[in-house]
Amino acid sequence: MTSAHMEAALMLAGVLFMLGLISVLIRRNIIFMLISVEIMLNAAGLAFIVAGTKWVQPDGQVMFIFILTMAAAEVSVGLALILQIYHQLKTLDSDAANLMKG
């Protein structure tokens, strides 16, 4: 038995997701965009755990583990891409990466 209520926890997930969404929309720095995606994934995992706790099923936490795995794989590939972009363009501005030239 826990004391937190479902609405409050779901609202927290929604607020965190909205903050991540705002950040990914307003930032031009690619690393900040990656961090914002992490915030959004974390908020989605929080919503999964709240739902799993609500219906007393383990599926929510299983999904959180999957999200965790995906976030780890995503951040490693994303950081490798950021390193490549920085070496090619000498900047972190996402607007500079508008040419599909190798």
Distance CA 30, CA 3 (A): 39
Smallest gap from Cβ 94 to another protein, in A, equals: 10
Interaxial angle between packed helices 59-89 and 30-54, expressed in degrees from 0 to 180 and rounded to the nearest 10: 180
CA–CA separation, 77 vs 73, rounded Å?
A: 6
d(CA 33, CA 53): 31
Regarding 14 and contact with another protein (CB under 8 A), the answer is yes
| Residue with smaller CB distance to another protein, 53 or 97 | 53
Q: Does 89 bind another protein (CB under 8 A)?
A: no
**Shortest Å, Cβ 20 to another protein:** 8
**Residue 82 interacting with another protein (CB under 8 A):** yes
Among 42, 44, 96, 97, binds another protein (CB under 8 A): 42
Cα separation values, 88 from 1, 46, 95, 96, Å = 54, 37, 14, 10
Residue numbers of the site for another protein (CB under 8 A)?
A: 1-12, 14-16, 18-23, 25-29, 31-32, 34-36, 38-39, 42, 46, 49-50, 52-54, 56-62, 64-66, 68-77, 79-84, 86-87, 92-93
